[in-house]
Structure 1
């Protein structure tokens, strides 16, 4: 019980600290934090499926793109209110993702990863050639309705969304259902032998992951006010999501958050030195070294730091 209350206290401290942040940092830092918040949402979404069950997805921008394009088309082309378009986008992401990718859950390993990657590439090609009057074709869409104005308002919105998703997923993964999902990643045959339906568990993980990805994608496009298929379905975007989850620590919720903030600020600090795509090679090398040094991610380093601090106090 004491450990649980300690975790709640940490979450409470994190929430209060993030909500007070606009009072002490510049607008430029807040804008960087906004991108970190959305990357954290995408990394949490990837971790719910891939980090827990072991089904590594290389097509996560497929889900993010469905959510983003659905709400963008509804609001831009059909003048649908954003409070309606976002829930519709999330629902459509879950349905479309389930119909297309759920059959791929019958396979795993590299085959599953390749199938999901193929769907991401397929959607990238489709949005450019099918009804470009709706999707914007290769140019994408601009002039999309934004939800907030100013760095502080955008930060509060993205932070509230990210923390709501993070705390909800953390509480969910503390239940028996979360334990069962983690068990699939460790030994799926044992879970099946215990009488649990692994198909239903994997479907739940996928739907939850799709819901978060669709929600994040919808809010993200309404923050940017524009949508470009080349950026959304770029391999570097996919790489950043996966590395953030792996580097922070998979099968956790706080881990992908830590990884997302680390990667976002690392890329931002490298921008003046390496303004081009070369910085992705640098951060990739840094991420690889950190992952080799600590396979459990940065969250394990944080845990060790807390343990050392507690030992020092009790000594």
Structure 2
């Protein structure tokens, strides 16, 4: 069997395991897996732009936060139904990202990363003080309407949303557009020399990334039932998203999902031993070891294992 068929079998096993999980674990584990699913969605979103084009964005929490606050304000302050607020949140995320972050795509390298980081920090400082009657200030907005009731229903909703987004992202990256985005990450000057508009391609990647982030955070906000600036704009959110991608394998679809689940469950496993922030040091050390051993992440380790098994069998 070739590597592609092995990946298909891996995907099928993963999907089957996800949908059977509520039969074997309790509600506490399901809630942990729900958080892992939404983190995986944010990681896929970041990977569409940064993992493909090589433009490392430190402003992704801005996209996540603006979508969450949009649906929260519409439902709690203006009485919009959730079914209408979520599409609007996705649209606002895309438009807001275009206005604020798209001009930064003309900047290369570390300058792009610094500009996006500055935007995220600016939003973190502004949200609590600008129109606190709408944003709730530092307390945020609570009592958001729920989409489902119960841990099991919330789990199936999160898993279904994650898998649909992963499938759409996989199909997109199989097209010529996806190949062009890969090429930008490898050699942008060559892509520009071939007659393609790299600005349009990067803008397209950014729009898709923003749409996925907006959709994921809108659902996540209604799952949590409350939002605060720290929960969405904080630097820890950025850290979790990027590390999930790097651990799992940037430039893949399954890699960010694996990285998100690995990170969430490792932190939960360490909680009884290190209940404070110390467990992040242990987690960071483990993540560093994985990255040093295989910079392409867990997906590359899995591929190497498959190749070794094929060679041993031959």
In the superposition, the TM-score normalised over structure 1's length comes to 0.96
Find the counterpart in structure 1 of residue 304 from structure 2: 304
CA offset digits 1:233-289 (Å, max 9, x no partner): 221111111000011110111111111010000111111122222222221121111
Alignment map for 1:112-191 (pairs within 5 Å):
112-191=112-191
Find the counterpart in structure 2 of residue 227 from structure 1: 227
Find the counterpart in structure 1 of residue 76 from structure 2: 76
CA offset digits 1:117-163 (Å, max 9, x no partner): 11111111221111111100011111111111111111100000000
CA offset digits 1:41-98 (Å, max 9, x no partner): 0111110000100100111000000100000000111110000000000000001101
* RMSD value, Cα: 1.4
Find the counterpart in structure 2 of residue 17 from structure 1: 17
Inter-partner Cα distance in structure 1 for 2:102 and 2:260: 27
Contact 2:124–2:234 (8 Å) recurs in 1:
no
Give the Å deviation of 1:309.
2.8
More displaced 10-residue stretch of structure 1: 278-287 or 73-82: 278-287
Inter-partner Cα distance in structure 2 for 1:204 and 1:75: 29
More displaced 10-residue stretch of structure 1: 180-189 or 10-19: 10-19
Q: Does 1:31 align with 2:65?
A: no
Inter-partner Cα distance in structure 1 for 2:182 and 2:265: 30
CA offset digits 1:140-189 (Å, max 9, x no partner): 11111111111111110000000000111011111111111011011000
Inter-partner Cα distance in structure 2 for 1:137 and 1:16: 42
Find the counterpart in structure 2 of residue 104 from structure 1: 104
Secondary structure of the 1:227 match is: coil
Inter-partner Cα distance in structure 1 for 2:157 and 2:25: 17
Q: Does 1:218 align with 2:218?
A: yes
Inter-partner Cα distance in structure 2 for 1:186 and 1:111: 18
Aligned residues, how many?
314
Inter-partner Cα distance in structure 2 for 1:167 and 1:115: 31
Find the counterpart in structure 1 of residue 197 from structure 2: 197
Give the Å deviation of 1:311.
3.4
When residues 269 and 2 of structure 1 are mapped into structure 2, their CA distance, relative to the original with a 3 A threshold, is closer
More displaced 10-residue stretch of structure 1: 191-200 or 117-126: 117-126
More displaced 10-residue stretch of structure 1: 44-53 or 228-237: 228-237
In the superposition, the TM-score normalised over structure 2's length comes to 0.97
Inter-partner Cα distance in structure 1 for 2:113 and 2:193: 25
Q: Does 1:63 align with 2:63?
A: yes
**Structure 1 unaligned blocks of 5 or more:** none
Alignment map for 1:265-280 (pairs within 5 Å):
265-280=265-280
Secondary structure of the 2:48 match is: helix
Give the Å deviation of 1:17.
2.0
